[in-house]
Structure 1
Amino acid sequence: MEHQLLCCEVETIRRAYLDANLLNDRALQTMLKAEETCSPSVSYFKCVQKDILPYMRKIVATWMLEVCEEQKCEEEVFPLAMNYLDRFLSLEPLKKSRLQLLGATCMFVASKMKETIPLTAEKLCIYTDHSVRPEELLHMELLLVNKLKWHLAAMTPHDFIEHFLSKMPVLEENKQIIRKHAQTFVALCATDVKFISNPPSMIAAGSVVAAVQGLHLGSTNSFLTYQRLTRFLSQVIKCDPDCLRACQEQIEALLESSLRQAQQHSSSSVPKNMEEEGDLSYTPTDVRDVNI
C-alpha cells in the first residue's frame, strides 16, 4: 500500500526519444519534395485578397506568436499555423473582420497536430477578448480544413533544422544553442510576409547560418565558418549558395528591425496590472482595429 501511494502521475509531458532513422538522406529528400505541395501563393494579396493588406497579416501574426509563447506551445505550432493561414488566404477571399478568427482557428488546428494537450477553443476565444465565440471558431475550423483539403501535415522550417544539425560536426551543447536561436529566427520569419516566397528548407538553413553567425561559433570550429557552412547547407537543400546568403541576410535584417521596433514600443507594452493578474483577455489594440 505504501508503494502504491508513491506511484503518482507526473504532470510533465513525456516525449519519445529522437529516432535517428528519420534523419537519413532518404527522409530529407522526401521532405524537400513534400514542401512544394503545401506552399502558399506568393501573390495572394494582389490576386485573391481585396480587404486584407500585408500589415494586417503582420499584426495578427504577432498576436498569434504572443499567444503561442504565453501558452508555451510547441515550437512547431506557430509556423504551422502561419502556413495554414497563408494557404487559406491564397484560396479564399476574407473580410478583415474575420482575420483574427482565422488566426485563432489556425492555432487551434496546428496545436491539435503538434501538441499532446492542444489549445482549447474556449481559451483561444479569451485571447480574442471574446470577439470570437467558440461555435464560430469550430465552424471556421471545418471551412479551413476543407479548403486545405485536409493536407495538414505541412513541412515547416523546424522539420529541417534537426536534419541540418545531425549532419553538422558540432558539439552537442553547441547544437542545443544553435537549435534554440534558429527556432527564434524561424518564428520571426513567419511573422513577415516577405518570407512567404522562400521554401521552409531555405528558411531553416538561413536561420541556422544566422544563428551560428550571431553566436560567433565559426571562430572556434572551421566547419562553421560562414563560407563553408553556407556552401554545405546549400548543397544539402540543393539551392544556389547566393540565394541562401540572401535569405540569411534578410533574416538578420529582420532581426535588427524587430529589435528596434521592440525598443520603440517598450513604453506601450502590457499594463503592469494585467501582467500581475495574468489576464488572458488582453488583446493588442491593433488586433482589435483589424477586427473592426
Structure 2
Amino acid sequence: MIDTLVTSEAQDLLHQLNLLLEQELKCQPKACGLRLIETTHDNGLRMTARLRDFEVKDLLSLTQFFGFNTETFSLSVNLLDRFLAKMKVQPKHLGCVGLTCFYLAVKATEEERNVPLATDLIRISQYKFTVFDMMRMEKIVLEKLSWKVKATTALNLLHLYHSLIYENLPSER
C-alpha cells in the first residue's frame, strides 16, 4: 500500500515536471537575443550583460526590501530576460524596464494587499521616471511578451525536483 502511494506521488510529480518542462520552452528568453547582449561592448549606448546583472541585483534588493517571495524575484528576472531578448533597450531605459518587470511579477505572485503602489516603488528605487512612464512601459512589456506573465522559472523546476527527490528518499535518511 505504501509503495503504491509513493509511486503514485512520484508519478504525479513527474507529470508536473513534464508539464513545467513543456511550458519552459515557451517562457525562456530567446537565446539569440541574449547572445547579442552578451557580445555587446560597453560603450554606454547599448545594453550589455554587465548592465543586465546590475539590474538583477536591484531586483534582488527590492525583493528583500519588501520581503517578497523568491518566486517574485525569479519571475521578475525571467520577465526581464524575455523582454531584453526581444527588444533593444537603451541603458537609460533599463531601470524603467526592470522595475516594470518587478511590478508585474509582484502583481502575479504576491497577495493583492502586499502589492505596493507604483509611486512607492519608484520612490524607493530612486529612479527619475514617472508613474505614467512605468504604466506605458508595462503595456509595452506585456505586449512584447504576448501578455504571458506567468512563466516556468528555474525556481519552479528546482522546487519540483526537490519534492521528487524528497518523496523518493528512504525514510532512514
Common fold: TM-score over 0.5: yes
Letter of the aligned partner of 1:110 in structure 2?
A
Measure, in 2, the Cα distance between the counterparts of 1:80 and 1:130.
21
Asked if 1 retains the 8 angstrom alpha-carbon contact of 2:100 and 2:138, the reply is yes
Asked if 2 retains the 8 angstrom alpha-carbon contact of 1:35 and 1:154, the reply is yes
Asked if 2 retains the 8 angstrom alpha-carbon contact of 1:45 and 1:52, the reply is no
**1:32 aligned residue:** 21
- 1:135-171 alpha-carbon deviations (Å, 9 max, x no partner): 111110000000000111110122123322322247x
Letter of the aligned partner of 1:34 in structure 2?
Q
Uncovered stretches (5+) of structure 1, i.e. residues with no partner: 1-19, 171-219, 222-292
Measure, in 1, the Cα distance between the counterparts of 2:60 and 2:51.
14
Secondary structure at 2:25's aligned position in 1? coil
Percent of residue pairs identical: 22
Structure 1 pair 27–100 and aligned structure 2 pair: CA distance change class (3 A): same
Measure, in 2, the Cα distance between the counterparts of 1:62 and 1:165.
26
Measure, in 2, the Cα distance between the counterparts of 1:47 and 1:65.
24
Asked if 1 retains the 8 angstrom alpha-carbon contact of 2:86 and 2:144, the reply is yes
Secondary structure at 1:26's aligned position in 2? helix
Is 1:66 aligned with 2:61? Answer: yes
Is 1:154 aligned with 2:143? Answer: no
- 1:102-158 alpha-carbon deviations (Å, 9 max, x no partner): 010000000000000223211210123141211111110000000000111110122
Asked if 2 retains the 8 angstrom alpha-carbon contact of 1:108 and 1:120, the reply is no
Measure, in 1, the Cα distance between the counterparts of 2:52 and 2:36.
16
**By how many angstroms is 1:46 displaced?**
5.0
Measure, in 2, the Cα distance between the counterparts of 1:104 and 1:71.
13
**By how many angstroms is 1:94 displaced?**
1.2
> Which structure has the bigger radius of gyration?
1
Give the count of matched residue pairs. Answer: 153
**By how many angstroms is 1:41 displaced?**
2.2
**2:49 aligned residue:** 54
Measure, in 2, the Cα distance between the counterparts of 1:24 and 1:123.
39
Which of 73, 87, 92 aligns to 1:97? It is 92
Secondary structure at 1:132's aligned position in 2? coil
**Residues 90-239 of structure 1 correspond to what in structure 2 (within 5 A)?**
90-116=85-111, 117-169=114-166, 221=173
Measure, in 1, the Cα distance between the counterparts of 2:165 and 2:15.
17
